[in-house]
Amino acid sequence: MSAIVVEGLRKQYGDHEAVRGIDLEVADGQVVCLLGPNGAGKTTTVEILEGYRNRTAGTVRVLGFDPAGQPLALRQRIGIVLQECALPADLRVAELLDAYRDYYPHPRPRDELLDIVELRGESAAPIKALSGGQQRRLDLALALTGDPDLVFLDEPTTGFDPAARRRCWAAIRNLAALDKTVLLTTHYMDEAQELADRVAVLVDGLIVADDAPHRLAGRHLAPTHVSFHLPEGRSGDDLPAVPGEIAAEGGKVMIATREPDVALYTLLAWARRRHLDLSGLAVAPPTLEDIYLALAGSGATR
Ligand code: ATP
């Protein structure tokens, strides 16, 4: 079963076509991340899926429904966490959750919600006493009160410090463990890498890549960079033959290789036999950011 099926989605604003024919399928229980530069069409796409914007063309099914017109049966099964949300400062966390729970016929138990977002200890705290990160997690708990099958998260950790981001990631992982489907937008590559089963990259209204983070746009086939300082008294010509391209400049060696294990074994064996030190040895596989920037940079798709 697929939670989201989009075919040939288009959105025109006046003369400008912001979404130019998107196909996207999200399986039940998947965490899919939509990445893209500013103005790529992410918000437009997500808000069409949520039922807040109308499409110009294409078919969209969310949990089997057409979201246009926001049918109640769909609204009861989705949770939305917006980038910003003002919460009533004077209420206590438990009071606000209970007020939300009253809206739903079968709400999740309050303590379960607090556990998912790791706020059980703050249950009696007034909302104004929570940090920004804690308020965002409370926001997530509110989106989960009706026990939705599908959750939309819009840049859930923007502006957080590293510790707060990790707490939020833990909450999102808890969601995934409950088999919720999650569609996440973010500008952080580490977030996509950490959380997503799949990453779809949107550039200029088109999806230009869609795959697991480690395979996106051939990432698993792209070269790994091995670097180290040339040992004293050695030149680039002394280095052993390794698979890939070797560049030695200013005492630093950089090897771009698609067989990093063979290259490393050969280099380390060579250095050990000669009692040489490969100082500063670093192995850098292609990052999601490298791949993303190449995709987003080549974005002259019109
Ligand atoms: P960001 O990362 O900056 O939030 P985005 O990928 O979410 O960007 P959208 O907000 O969907 O991009 O915008 C896509 C394009 O459509 C942009 O060129 C934007 O200016 C334009 N656009 C968005 N909303 C409207 C609107 N209501 N009326 C006219 N143009 C719009």
Q: For the chain, how long is the longest CA-to-CA vector?
A: 77
Cβ atoms of 298 and 272 within 8 Å: the answer is no
d(CA 190, CA 192): 5
Residues 6+ apart with CB under 8 A from 124: 92, 93, 94
- At what angle are helices 93-101 and 132-143 packed, to 10 degrees? 20
d(CA 123, CA 71): 33
Nearest CA to 211 out of 230, 192, 229 is that of 192
- At what angle are helices 132-143 and 162-177 packed, to 10 degrees? 10
Which residue, by CA, sits nearest to atom 16 of ligand 1?
18
| Whether the predicted pLDDT of 61 surpasses 80 | yes
Half-sphere exposure of 170 (CA within 13 A, CB side): 14
CATH topology of domain 223-285: Alpha-Beta Plaits (3.30.70)
Q: Say if ligand 1 is within 6 A of residue 15 CB.
A: no
Q: Say if ligand 1 is within 6 A of residue 39 CB.
A: yes
List the beta bridge partners of residue 255: 226, 246
Which residues of the chain form CATH 3.40.50.300?
2-214
Which residues of the chain form CATH 3.30.70?
223-285
Average the pLDDT over 281-301 and give the result. 81
- Categorize the per-residue pLDDT at 168 as very low, low, confident or very high, splitting at 50, 70 and 90: confident
Extract the tokens encoding 215. 């395979």
pLDDT digits (tens, 9 = 90+) for 224-272: 999 999 998 888 889 999 999 999 888 899 999 999 999 999 999 999 9
| Whether the predicted pLDDT of 58 surpasses 70 | yes
Q: How far is CA 269 from the centre of its chain?
A: 39
- Categorize the per-residue pLDDT at 56 as very low, low, confident or very high, splitting at 50, 70 and 90: very high
What three-state secondary structure class fits 253?
Answer: strand
What percent of the chain clears pLDDT 90, i.e. is strictly above it? 63
Which residue, by CA, sits nearest to atom 18 of ligand 1?
39
Q: Which atom of ligand 1 is nearest to the CA of 14?
A: 29
pLDDT digits (tens, 9 = 90+) for 246-257: 998 888 999 999
Cβ atoms of 18 and 44 within 8 Å: the answer is yes
- Whole-Å CA distances, 146 to 29, 103, 116: 17, 8, 14
CATH topology of domain 2-214: Rossmann fold (3.40.50)
pTM: 0.84
Q: What are phi and psi of 166, to 5 degrees?
A: -65, -35
Average the pLDDT over 63-80 and give the result. 92
According to the model, what pLDDT value does residue 206 have? 95
Q: Say if ligand 1 is within 6 A of residue 41 CB.
A: yes
| Whether the predicted pLDDT of 68 surpasses 90 | yes
Alpha-carbon torsion, ordered 130, 134, 138, 143, to 10 deg: 150
CA of 43 to the centre of ligand 1 (A): 7
pLDDT digits (tens, 9 = 90+) for 202-214: 999 999 999 999 8
